Amino acid sequence: MYETERRSRDYYEGRARWYDWANRIAALLRGVSGIRERRKAVRHLGLTPGDRVLEVSVGTGTNLPLIAEHVGPAGRLVGLDISPAMLARCRKKMRGEGLEVDLVEGEAAHLPFADRAFDAVFHHGGIAEFGDRRGAIAEMMRVAKPGAKVVVCDVGVPSDRKLGLTSRLLLKFQPIYDQPPPIDLIPRQAKDVRLSWFHGGAWYMIELVSP
């Protein structure tokens, strides 16, 4: 494991209890509904009932019920995360939701899944902190079936427009927002690559279709 990954895991191990609360407060400060923004990203996966979906860096699993709304009871949900504490919270939450999910401890740049195993692959938050972002994107594409959507989202602010006050403050106090969307790290075989912004312009969304 890279030093960056170890640090990130330790950070989330200590933060798991507060993670959902911190997210709610961040959404309030941005003046958006966190769940509505997450739903937007999930819609871009183009899911249909029965699909098998992987969320890389699933965290406490907030997106899983939103994915389940599309794939239904015949679908299969798989979540991977580097932090056992985040996975433990996710397991508890999913029990409360009555959702069956396979949760796997692992690292995004070395996914323990077969090639072309999933109908869609989702990542919502975390990649900006990864030590091997290129490897993680390549892995998401490897495990996606040909024609499957891969959606990668994280914090950031657009560099091609005038920024509002919130974005300027985020840039000043949270250096991670200064990282550009990792478009240049996407393998050239990827099809229909698109970039958009959501969460009030404080997150990017990269969509692509696996070749």
Ligand X SMILES: C[S@@+](CC[C@H](N)C(=O)[O-])C[C@H]1O[C@@H](n2cnc3c(N)ncnc32)[C@H](O)[C@@H]1O
Only one of the segments 58-66, 91-99, 187-195, 198-206 lies at the binding site for ligand X (rule: CB under 6 A); that segment is 58-66
Half-sphere exposure of residue 200: CA atoms within 13 angstroms, side-chain side: 16
Distance in Å, CB of 135 to ligand X, minimum: 9
Please pick, from the candidates 27, 45, 57, 167, the single residue that binds ligand X as defined by CB under 6 A: 57
Residue 166 burial (CB count, 10 A): 15
Residues 64 and 51: their CA atoms lie apart, in Å, by 13
Q: Can you say whether residue 98 is alpha, beta or left, with left for phi > 0 and alpha for psi between -120 and 50 degrees?
A: left
Binders of ligand X in range 66-125 (CB under 6 A):
81-83, 86, 107-108, 124-125
Asked if residue 184 lies in contact with residue 159, where contact means CB atoms within 8 angstroms, the answer is no
**Residue 140 interacts with ligand X (CB under 6 A)?**
no
Distance in Å, CB of 59 to ligand X, minimum: 2
CB-based closest residue to ligand X: 59
**Residue 210 interacts with ligand X (CB under 6 A)?**
no
Backbone angles phi, psi at 103, to 5 degrees: -110, 130
Whichever of 130 and 204 has its CB closer to ligand X, that residue is 130
Please pick, from the candidates 62, 64, 75, 167, the single residue that binds ligand X as defined by CB under 6 A: 62
